[in-house]
A and B are shown apart, each in its own frame.
Chain A
Amino acid sequence: MSDALTQTNKPDEKSLATEGSPQSGRAGGLLRSTLVRHVGLMLLALVGISLLLETVSPFRVSQLGELTYFIPAVAGLTVLTGLNGQISLGHGALMAVAAYTTSVLLDQESPLPFALIILIAVAITALVGALVGAAAARLHGPYLAGATLALAVGVPGLALYFEETLGGEQGLSVSPPRASPNFATFMADVTGESLSGQKFTAYLGWALSLLVLLLLSNLVVSRYGRTWRAVRDDEVAAELAGINLGRARVLAFVVSAACAGVGGVMIAIITRLTAPTTFTLVLSITLLVAIVIGGLGSLVGAIIGSLIVVFLRPFVTDLGAEGGLNAAQAANVAPLVFGIVLILVMLLAPRGLVGSVRFAYLTRQAARQAKAQR
Chain B
Amino acid sequence: MKQFLDLSLSGLTSGFIYAAFALCLVLIFRATRIVNFGQGAQAMFTTYIALDVVQRTGNYWLGLLAALVSGFVLGAVIERVIVRPVETGPEINAVIVTLGVFIGLIALAAVVFGNTFEPFRAPFGLEGFQVGDTSINLTPTNVFNIFAVVVAMAALLALFRFTSLGLQMRASAFGQEVARLLGVRVGQMLTLGWALAGLFGSLAGILIAGGNFISPNFMDSVVVFGFVAAVLGGLDSFVGAVVGGLVLGLSLAYVQGYVAPELVTLAALGILMVVLLLKPGGLFSSSVARKV
Chain A bound to chain B: yes
Interface positions of A (Cβ within 8 A of B): 1, 3-6, 81, 85, 87, 89, 135, 138-143, 145-147, 149-151, 153-155, 157-158, 160-161, 280-282, 285, 288, 292, 320, 325, 328-329, 332-336, 338-343, 346-347, 350
Residues of chain B having any CB pair with chain A under 8 Å: 34-35, 37, 82, 85-86, 88-93, 95-97, 99-108, 110-111, 114-116, 217, 220-221, 223-224, 227-228, 231, 260, 262-266, 268-269, 272-273, 276-277, 280
**Contact, CB under 8 Å: A154 / B269:** yes
- Chain B residues, CB < 8 A from A335: 103-104, 106-107
Q: Let me know if A333 and B111 touch, CB within 8 A.
A: yes
Q: List 29 A-B contacts (CB under 8 A).
A: A1-B88, A3-B89, A4-B92, A4-B96, A87-B95, A87-B96, A89-B99, A143-B276, A145-B35, A145-B37, A146-B35, A146-B224, A146-B272, A150-B265, A150-B266, A153-B221, A154-B263, A154-B269, A161-B263, A281-B103, A281-B220, A329-B110, A332-B111, A336-B111, A339-B100, A339-B101, A342-B99, A346-B86, A350-B93
Given A142-B95, A157-B265, A333-B111, A135-B277 contact (CB < 8 Å): yes
Q: How far is the CA of A4 from the CA of B107 in the complex (A)?
A: 24
Judging by beta carbons under 8 Å apart, are B111 and A154 in contact? no
Judge whether B97 and A328 touch: CB under 8 Å: no
From the candidates B82, B88, B111, B260, name the one contacting A320 in the complex (CB within 8 A): B111
B181 to chain A, nearest CB (A): 24
Besides A146-B227, A343-B100, 13 new A-B residue pairs in contact (Cβ under 8 A), listed by A number: A6-B90, A138-B280, A145-B37, A147-B273, A328-B115, A333-B107, A335-B103, A336-B103, A336-B108, A338-B100, A341-B100, A346-B93, A346-B96
Chain A neighbourhood of B220, CB < 8 A: 153, 281
Interface majority SS (helix, strand, loop, mixed), chain A: helix
B111 touches A151 (CB 8 A): no
- The answer to whether residues A347 and B107 also contact, given A145-B37, A157-B265 and a CB cut-off of 8 A, is no
CB distance from A162 to the nearest CB of B (A): 9
**B231 to A: closest C-beta gap in Å:** 7
